[in-house]
Amino acid sequence: MSALTLIKESLLQLFYPHLCAGCGSDALPVSSHLCVKCMHALPLSSFEKQADNPVEKILTGRIEFEKATAQFYFTKHSVFYNTSCMLLNIKATKTWGIS
Ligand SMILES: [Zn+2]
């Protein structure tokens, strides 16, 4: 990272803090919305390793698909629950320009 880029990032952080969506910490990479601690706290499902997993059972008969999976469990007490709306909003903004 060049000195100019570092100065620019520092000024942006001062006026528009880049905080973790899960815990509010400012110790996270610029390219991430979650800190390492929150990333490790995400409840991984490992459904991609299971044939006939719960996601495939839910979708069977509703849509055509070859494989279906969910990377995380969606629970009320997980970091993912609190941040999912924000992350979906960011994806929609980047993908479709919807804010
Ligand atoms: Zn965090």
Read off the pLDDT of residues 22-49 as tens digits, 9 standing for 90 and up. Answer: 888 988 887 888 899 988 888 888 999 9
Q: What is the pLDDT of residue 21?
A: 84
Read off the pLDDT of residues 88-98 as tens digits, 9 standing for 90 and up: 555 555 555 55
For ion ligand 1, residues whose CB falls within 5 Å: 20, 22-23, 25, 35, 38
- Is pTM beyond 0.75? Reply is no
User: Can you give the residue ranges of every domain in the chain?
Assistant: 3-96
Q: How remote is the CA of residue 19 from the centroid of ligand 1, in Å?
A: 8
Based on its alpha-carbon atoms, the radius of gyration of the chain, rounded to whole angstroms, reads: 18
Residue 99 is predicted with a pLDDT of 46
Each residue's pLDDT tens digit, 44-74: 889 999 989 999 999 999 999 999 998 888 7
Instruction: For the beta carbon of residue 42, count every other beta carbon within 10 angstroms.
Output: 16
Cα 10 to Cα 61: distance, rounded to the nearest angstrom: 52
- What one-character-per-residue DSSP string does 10-58 give? HHHHHHS----TTT--S-S-TT-SS-HHHHHHS-B--GGGSTT-HHHHH
